[in-house]
Chains A and B, each alone.
Chain A
Amino acid sequence: DTGVSQDPRHKITKRGQNVTFRCDPISEHNRLYWYRQTLGQGPEFLTYFQNEAQLEKSRLLSDRFSAERPKGSFSTLEIQRTEQGDSAMYLCASSPRAFRQDTQYFGPGTRLTVL
């Protein structure tokens, strides 16, 4: 059973460019979360998918951000017209539909640097 994977691990881009990140959750995990972590801070919630449906979005998710999870498998997070303030670690987590624990297992993250 492989863990959560994310691609790319690192991304350097120039301000104004668009970037897209991919997350592959643990197989059969129907819940998928995106978080953003800036330097020295704890992760902050961005958005949640249950299967293919995006059910919750944070106010942090401006209209430049869009996320999808087609067919309820992998997910993508796109940032359009990147800004220097978007520089952060973007973490993806998945969890099974379990009654008790619902532990979220995280991927290695994508570190974005906007120049």
Chain B
Amino acid sequence: AQKITQTQPGMFVQEKEAVTLDCTYDTSDQSYGLFWYKQPSSGEMIFLIYQGSYDEQNATEGRYSLNFQKARKSANLVISASQLGDSAMYFCAMREPFAAGGTSYGKLTFGQGTILTVHP
């Protein structure tokens, strides 16, 4: 079974500074995907960034980067130059592989989330 752990219930950051949100995972699969989603108070889950288990380079998407350390099973999200609009809940998620023979179909397992508050 897959497990995602986010140990920071809440984080605070000053506007324009960088912040790191922690995520560790546990899986016996060799092939998996790691995702970060942002959930504002409106409730919609917004995709931020993806890292495949076989990707050798850390993923980057604009101000978001994923610090992927496979041996330590961590996939931390780094947000650079924080903005007030970054205040939201952030979820780390792992996608199980699509297994031949139809035993798994790519469902996501989510962590508990981290509430990020950006101060002006």
Contact = CB atoms under 8 A, between A and B. Distances in A.
A103 B106 CA distance: 10
B107 A105 contact: no
Nearest to B109: A45
Q: How large is the interface on A (under 10, 10 to 19, 20 to 34, 35 or more residues)?
A: 20 to 34
B108 A104 contact: yes
Q: How large is the interface on B (under 10, 10 to 19, 20 to 34, 35 or more residues)?
A: 20 to 34
Binding site secondary structure of chain A:
strand
Given A105-B47, A108-B44, A111-B43, A43 B110 contact: yes
A83 to B, nearest CB: 22
A101 B33 contact: yes
Interface string B79-101: 00000000000010101001000
Interface string A75-86: 000000000000
Nearest to B49: A103
B12 interface: no
A109 B37 CA distance: 14
Interface of B: 4, 33, 35, 37, 42-47, 50, 52, 91, 93, 95, 98, 102, 104-113
